[in-house]
Chains A and B, each alone.
Chain A
Amino acid sequence: NAGVTQTPKFQVLKTGQSMTLQCAQDMNHNSMYWYRQDPGMGLRLIYYSASEGTTDKGEVPNGYNVSRLNKREFSLRLESAAPSQTSVYFCATTLALANEQYFGPGTRLTVT
């Protein structure tokens, strides 16, 4: 039982490159979330998926897209990376919206 897993753990991109961050959960949870956390700051919600087949914007969605591939997987895509997207990205899941969230280990992304 791995809980919430994220790949990759670290990534360095050049400005303009694209990449997809992967998140998977084996907890049979319905809702999944993507957050970013900048140094010394709290987490900011990028996108969330209340259930399979639905996605909604959070506080800071610009520059990102998401896909809820199935109940287990929720990916975050950066189409054209910018230095302002340098951050740590966390995926989280809950049984239902805004219940107790379970977080993955994070992906540390640097855009140069």
Chain B
Amino acid sequence: LAKTTQPISMDSYEGQEVNITCSHNNIATNDYITWYQQFPSQGPRFIIQGYKTKVTNEVASLFIPADRKSSTLSLPRVSLSDTAVYYCLVGDLSGGGADGLTFGKGTHLIIQP
């Protein structure tokens, strides 16, 4: 079960680009990387998922270097509503077990005006 390490908290300002890095040194060949966002009193919400290189959708980009031992979630031009906890998960989507379903403590991102 691949373990992840993220910063406990980060601060930024409205309009800035925010990059949150997750370390997963023992990632396995079949593991994917998934990021979720959670607001207070709500369940987490899927943001993005990737295996290697770069993935982009309408809300974020995910950068994964060649060795896949880390990944970076990039949020362009953040707003106050992006204040939330962000979780990085790593696991084998085809394994048939609970791999990839471990949420750590996440990164508490605070956006200021």
A residues with CB within 8 A of B: 4, 33, 35, 40-45, 48, 50, 56, 58-59, 90, 92, 96-106
Does B63 make an interface contact (CB < 8 A)? no
In whole angstroms, how far apart are the Cα atoms of A48 and B32 in the complex?
19
- Contact flags (1/0) for B90-113 with A, using CB distance below 8 Å? 011101111111111110000000
Interface contact B43-A90, CB-CB below 8 Å: yes
* Chain B residues positioned under 8 Å from A96 (CB to CB): 93
A60: shortest Cβ distance to chain B, in Å?
11
Does B46 make an interface contact (CB < 8 A)? yes
- Contact flags (1/0) for B32-52 with A, using CB distance below 8 Å? 101010000111111001000
Question: Which chain A residue has the least Cβ–Cβ distance from B93?
Answer: A98
* Chain A residues positioned under 8 Å from B49 (CB to CB): 100
For chain A, what secondary structure do more than half of its interface residues adopt (helix, strand, loop), or is it mixed? loop
Question: Which chain A residue has the least Cβ–Cβ distance from B85?
Answer: A42
A87: shortest Cβ distance to chain B, in Å?
13
Interface contact A42-B106, CB-CB below 8 Å: yes
Interface contact B43-A45, CB-CB below 8 Å: no
Interface contact B105-A41, CB-CB below 8 Å: yes
Interface contact B105-A98, CB-CB below 8 Å: no
A109: shortest Cβ distance to chain B, in Å?
14
Known: A101-B46, A105-B43. A43 touches B103 (CB 8 A): yes
In whole angstroms, how far apart are the Cα atoms of A45 and B98 in the complex?
8
Question: Which chain B residue has the least Cβ–Cβ distance from A43?
Answer: B103
